[in-house]
Amino acid sequence: MIFSKAAISLVCVLLLLSVFMANLLNIIATDHNFYVENLSQSENFTRYLGEKYGKITDTSDHLIWFLQISDIHISIFRDSGRISQFQQFCDSTVKKIKPLIVLATGDLTDAKAKDNLGSSQVKTEWIYYHNIIKESGVTEHTTWLDIRGNHDNFNIRTLNSQENYFRNYSVQGGTHSKSYLHIVEHNGLSVAFLGIDACPEPGLRRPFNFIGILDAEEQIALQKLKNEAESKADHIVWFGHYPTSCILSIEHDSEKVNLRQLMGNAKGSQAYVCGHLHSMGGMVPRMYTKHKKGYLELELGDWKDNRMYRLAAIDHGIFSFVDQKHNTWPLVLVTNPKHARYLLPGREPLQLVPESSHIRILAFSDVKMESVKISFDNISWMKCKGTNEPLYTCLWLPHLFKTGLHKLYVIASDELGKETFVEHQFSLDGSLVPFEITPRIMLMLDAGAVFQALFGTLLIINVLPLVILRLQKRPPKYRRKCGRQILRRIWLLSKIDRIFYPIVLYAIYLPLGPWAIGELIDGYTGVIFAWGILIKGSYIPEPFTYMYGSVQLMFVQIPFIFVLAYCLETRLFAQNLRSYQRLVKSLPFILLLSIQILLAYFFWLEYGTVAFLFGPLRTWSVLLSMLLWYKTLTLPPELCRYLTRLNEMPS
């Protein structure tokens, strides 16, 4: 049997696609049974916790709760509500909830210029942050653990430079310049809060400050902190700004610390809480996943635009959480039974839940709570007892819910009539609610590898079709008329040396040569390459450069090939056009050139005049585009006749 080229191509594409999907699903799988793989260790640990905490009843023993806030972005140029409502959060919300700890996980200030493109530390923003915390007196009622984000690291030469205002105006900066550990022993629980500072040094101006980097020194420091946390606490809550997908560990002495492995190998690790991705502009509001090592990663929506914060609790060794919008009351968190999606077998004493005597709920409001009621059928309701406010409890019969998934409904009301309704899925036999796929992709892939793969793919798309078409002696075949015309245009374009070689050589240059030379940090000149940045005698492997280059390839270089092919057709077959008709025919190029100029202008605002002038990626590509467009429209007559003859050849 003879197969057509199209059929063989389709089979190859499907095969590659299936391999890709299989690898992707393996990477983002959350159903790895950490408990079975570490059976002996897990059983011993959970048995120890179960014996330590005893039966879950209606007392407030063995219970703590804490808050997280992230991506505050205090700014003196935009949205004054961030400051006033952050002040309200410190003055009122924290004092109403009375958490043991508040985690502020980075991007405390905005550090962006008025034009929203330039970036540098703004002392006034840090003074606002410092004064709000100090004047609210919040640190007298709770422990405030803050850590840097990438915005807090913009345009900072070294940790000791005077522009690093985190040292002087944050709560923890004066004591801890980078990653640190805070141990809490309270109410029969010992919990380690381990902060991860992955801000690179030096701190570049935006946009090349998106990926966190753990250098050799910081990796060693994290190992020591992890060992100390294991020895002193039963539970570890990791916190930082960057999700693990956006943290790069630099190899040293042929070794590097895999952060996910480090957290997963730590006895008692329950969750890593972070920010940075802003829930993708609110499009992924529940960006949560469980890693293969059996712990949770929970990205919190930003304070900047969405005014989100998180309440989390550890109740008899079992970790629970809920994310809440500011000034939305009552705030409700069910701690027993735990939500079925977030069960951590082998890391928490889940055997205590089927033996518990009471359902346990934390409920808060800005006024007095009126009632907390529960139901299993959303019809008949039972009132919870609130003798240990904010803990509300109710007797239950767990043996009625031994198998499968079940739903618990909660209605909490305060004295002003404000009401919160919660639908809470739980299971006692380990049945799980799956995590959504988009959050798993965002948190479990390696962002640097994704950026690199995207850049490489676009680079191949930019070069390979042109090379293949140039090697073809006859016009390419295609069934559809429109596609056949476009292919024929590009085929003719590939035959023009003065067009083909500049396009291909420029594409080959991008992964090899410098993209810009300029003042990447005030007072320091650096060089940007696709594979990283050289500055201050050091190499920063910032993978976001690949994403930056991908924008150029996707929105400029690849469309430019089609625009030139369209211009070539005008030159060959529409030479007698009137002036206004020529202008209309030039509109695609004018639009594309406008995009290029705009991108170059943005780059000038970000890194200054020197980087703008010595910028092959942005500025020089504008000149190259204009030159190739002019060469296409002014082809010599003999070359035009040659191309016309080629065009008349049958496919």
Q: Are 213 and 170 in contact (CB under 8 A)?
A: no
Estimate the crossing angle of helix 558-573 against helix 481-494, to 10 degrees.
90
Share of the chain above pLDDT 70, in %: 93
* Spatial CB neighbours of 393, under 8 Å, sequence gap ≥ 6: 57, 58, 358, 359, 360, 361, 384, 385, 387
Nearest CA among 394, 386, 391 for reference residue 97: 391
- Residue 585 pLDDT grade (very low, low, confident, very high; cuts 50, 70, 90): confident
- Whether the ω angle into residue 285 lies within 30 degrees of 0, i.e. cis, is no
Estimate the crossing angle of helix 637-648 against helix 558-573, to 10 degrees.
100
Residue 1 in this model has a pLDDT that exceeds 50:
no
Q: Are 311 and 97 in contact (CB under 8 A)?
A: yes
Average pLDDT, the chain: 90
Instruction: Report the alpha-carbon distance of residue 255 to residue 279 in Å, rounded.
Output: 33
- Residue 29 pLDDT grade (very low, low, confident, very high; cuts 50, 70, 90): confident
Q: Are 75 and 112 in contact (CB under 8 A)?
A: yes
Nearest CA among 145, 432, 435, 425 for reference residue 298: 435
Instruction: Report the alpha-carbon distance of residue 54 to residue 316 in Å, rounded.
Output: 8
What pLDDT does residue 187 have? 93
Residue 556's H or E segment, with its range, is: none
- Residue 440 pLDDT grade (very low, low, confident, very high; cuts 50, 70, 90): very high
Q: Which tens digits make up the pLDDT trace of 105-140?
A: 999 999 998 888 889 999 999 999 999 999 999 999
User: What is the dihedral angle through the alpha carbons of 534, 535, 538, 540, rounded to the nearest 10 degrees?
Assistant: -60
Instruction: Report the alpha-carbon distance of residue 491 to residue 495 in Å, rounded.
Output: 7
541 versus 581: the higher-pLDDT residue is 541
Q: Which tens digits make up the pLDDT trace of 78-93?
A: 888 999 999 999 999 9
Q: Which tens digits make up the pLDDT trace of 168-199?
A: 999 999 999 899 999 999 999 999 999 999 99
* Spatial CB neighbours of 549, under 8 Å, sequence gap ≥ 6: 455, 510, 515, 530, 617
What pLDDT does residue 36 have? 74
Residue 434's Cβ-side half-sphere holds a number of Cα atoms within 13 Å equal to: 7
What pLDDT does residue 326 have? 96
Instruction: Report the alpha-carbon distance of residue 20 to residue 17 in Å, rounded.
Output: 5
Structure tokens at 86: 């952050």
Alpha helices for 144-297 (secondary structure H): 166-169, 216-232, 259-265
* Spatial CB neighbours of 15, under 8 Å, sequence gap ≥ 6: none
